[in-house]
Amino acid sequence: MESAEHSDREQPSPEHRRPDGVTDATVAALGKLSEALEVVEQARGMLYGFHRLTGKADLTLGEAVDALEEAGHTELAARIRRELIGLNVIDGRWTFQLVEEYDDGYYAALRTAEREARDQLVGGRRHLFEAEMKEDRRTHGRPGHEAVPPA
């Protein structure tokens, strides 16, 4: 026999239920839009990784130049310092500028479009496609397969 607590956890929360009148096609389309945003979130993380690694490389290059200088290779150290330390990674830009442009441009535009589509079509609900997939795939009534966490 199910406990009352367990049976209370068998229904998805209201924010993960499809509003009346919303079609399968709409839920699937919003799922694809959400998937695109997730890929962009991953790409953004990689861009931030690129930003951090490039910055670390520049600082490490500075340490290498200092070491070359200390080892007596002053001319070589001076050339590397002059030509490479602080060099733009793209014409006129360091990586922080790439990150800012990406965040303010493509990333912001996609986030806005995804949010506006959800607001317009399903009252702002997020991850309806995944919530319905969870309902489809879980074993109802089995511990560890509840629709929601404990209250």
**Is 150 within the bounds of a domain?**
no
Does residue 103 lie within any of the structural domains? yes
Question: Is 126 within a domain?
Answer: yes
Q: Closest Cα partner for 115 from 106, 126, 105, 101?
A: 126
Within a domain: 107:
yes
First-to-last CA distance in the chain?
A: 20
Does residue 8 register a pLDDT over 90? no
Structural domain span for residue 109: 23-137
* 72-87 tens-digit pLDDT: 999 999 999 999 999 9
Residue 110 belongs to a domain: yes
Is pLDDT at 4 greater than 60 in this prediction?
no
For 40-98, the three-class secondary structure string (H helix, E strand, C coil) is HHHHHHHHHHHHHHHHHHHHHHHHHHHHHHHCCCHHHHHHHHHHHCCCCCECCECHHHH
Alpha-carbon dihedral of residues 32, 38, 41, 46, nearest 10 degrees?
A: -110
**Rounded distance, CA 115 to CA 22, Å?**
17
User: Which residues have a Cβ under 8 Å from the Cβ of 101 and sit 6 or more positions away?
Assistant: 93
Contacts of residue 129, Cβ cutoff 8 Å, sequence gap at least 6: 27, 28, 30, 31, 34
Q: Tell me whether residue 149 is in a domain.
A: no
Q: How many domains does the chain have?
A: 1
How far is it, in rounded angstroms, from Cα 124 to Cα 99?
28
Does residue 6 form part of some domain?
A: no
What would the pLDDT profile of 12-65 be if each residue is shown by its tens digit? 999 999 999 999 999 999 999 999 999 999 999 999 999 999 999 999 999 999
The yes-or-no verdict on residue 149 having pLDDT over 70 is yes
pLDDT at 151: 85
17, part of any domain: no
What pLDDT was estimated at residue 5?
A: 55
pLDDT the model gives residue 126: 96
Please report the pLDDT score of residue 6 as a whole number. 56
